[in-house]
Structure 1
Amino acid sequence: MTQERRTSPLTAWQEMQHGNERFVSGVPSHPRQDVERREQLLGQQTPHAALFGCSDSRLAAEIIFDLGLGDLFVVRNAGQIISDSVIGSLEYAVSVLRVPLIVVLGHDECGAVAAAIDSQAPDAVPLPPHIHLLIEKIIPAVRRVQRGGAPGIRPDPTEVGREHLRDTVAELLEHSELISDAVAAGTLAIVGANYRLLEGTAVPDIVVGAV
């Protein structure tokens, strides 16, 4: 059972920003994590946003944004790589759960990004097949950063991660008519953000829609 959307894209993003500010400052409120909340969620969920992020153990979404049970619909894989299952999950969040916001969350020191960069070295050791398939979508970002840098210098992982984040948002819009139509209608926004491990901040890099 689901309910109608109760918040706007802007309000949903502001809630996440405020939660991240509490997390960064060391005064999280840990909302909606008690027995009463579990009881409220029986038979229904009305998350305020969906989050697609990297599986890195340091990117625990509800902790980073100081949210509780039922607040976020979370989809994660290594390197936040778009796939049919990811798109289907996010389309479910938009069309059935009626979330007004999708946050795509990348981060610094990403192992998938590092693997993609290392795979382009002349003496690179071949990766296991499934890992190779996973990082293939990061390689275009690696090559763009390589072309813009000094010859023979390892591409900056932060720049590659930023380029890959933008590619991920673009690919999501390109391959999901449902999601792109919702953005065009103003009922959905997408925020691509980079999480900084040391500071704990989620910094917006690309915004699509009204937030």
Structure 2
Amino acid sequence: MNTAREALRRLQEGNRRFVSGERSTDAVAEAIRRNQLANGQEPFAIILGCSDSRVPSEIVFDQGLGDLFVIRVAGNIVAPTQIGSVEFAAEKFGTRLVVVMGHTCCGAVEATVDELSRPEGKQSLNLRTIVDRIRPSVSPLMNSPLRHDRPALLRAAVRANVQVSASHLRHGSEILENLIRRDGLLVVGAEYSIETGEVDFFDGLPSP
């Protein structure tokens, strides 16, 4: 079983390969791996990311079958089902790293900023449940000087949403709190740049 630090290093190295275009996986290796995984899995990291089609975690981190337990939802929000999925993987597979990964140009975050700027009455109730979970992260920024600079506001909102989601996982589940305290579970926040392909781990990192 990988420690949280080892898992984080593997993700960072994989992202460097992705950015440089030096992908390590191939069809033959994946076929062998598929057969090996038929009776079980041991993912070394849990990724809670956005559903955006431009941010597939396995590709972004240059990982293959069975390496990552991926949970995708618009806006990388944390709701009971996402918490339950993280709890399941952390307990069932002994995975010790959880990454909440947002990304630049996030449509869900932008929709939340727009809603706070000018409420949209036609918004569906289902979409509103996503916006309502992002709203607490963004609302304080709307009262700051950033409200006059939309690009800067959106960048800050993406990171604030990641930080709030990561904090929710750290403090909103007794199971995860115990795993953090007793077993070295680490929950970190990251942002993927759609423009460069780079992942910046910026929240909750362990001390050097």
Identity of aligned residues (%): 33
Aligned: 1:161 with 2:158? yes
How far apart in 2 are the matches of 1:210 and 1:48?
20
Unaligned runs of 5+ in 1: 1-5
Give yes or no for contact 1:51–1:105 (8 Å, CA) kept in 2.
yes
**Structure 2 counterpart of 1:184:** 181
How far apart in 1 are the matches of 2:144 and 2:184?
37
SS at match of 1:52: strand
Moved over 4 A (4+): 150-155, 208-211
Cα deviation, 1:109-135, whole Å, max 9, x if unaligned, reads 000001000011236443111101111
Aligned: 1:11 with 2:21? no
**Structure 1 counterpart of 2:36:** 40
Cα deviation, 1:12-34, whole Å, max 9, x if unaligned, reads 11001000000001111126852
Q: Following TM superposition, by how much is the alpha carbon of 1:141 offset from its aligned partner in structure 2, in angstroms?
A: 2.1
Alignment TM-score, normalising by the size of structure 2: 0.92
When you count helix as a share of all residues, which structure comes out higher? 2
SS at match of 2:76: coil
Q: 1:209 to 1:90 in 2, by over 3 A?
A: farther
**Structure 2 counterpart of 1:26:** 21
Give yes or no for contact 2:146–2:153 (8 Å, CA) kept in 1.
no
Alignment TM-score, normalising by the size of structure 1: 0.91
Aligned length: 206
Q: Following TM superposition, by how much is the alpha carbon of 1:208 offset from its aligned partner in structure 2, in angstroms?
A: 5.3
Q: 1:38 to 1:20 in 2, by over 3 A?
A: same
Q: Following TM superposition, by how much is the alpha carbon of 1:152 offset from its aligned partner in structure 2, in angstroms?
A: 5.7
SS at match of 2:11: helix
95-104 or 176-185, which deviates more: 176-185
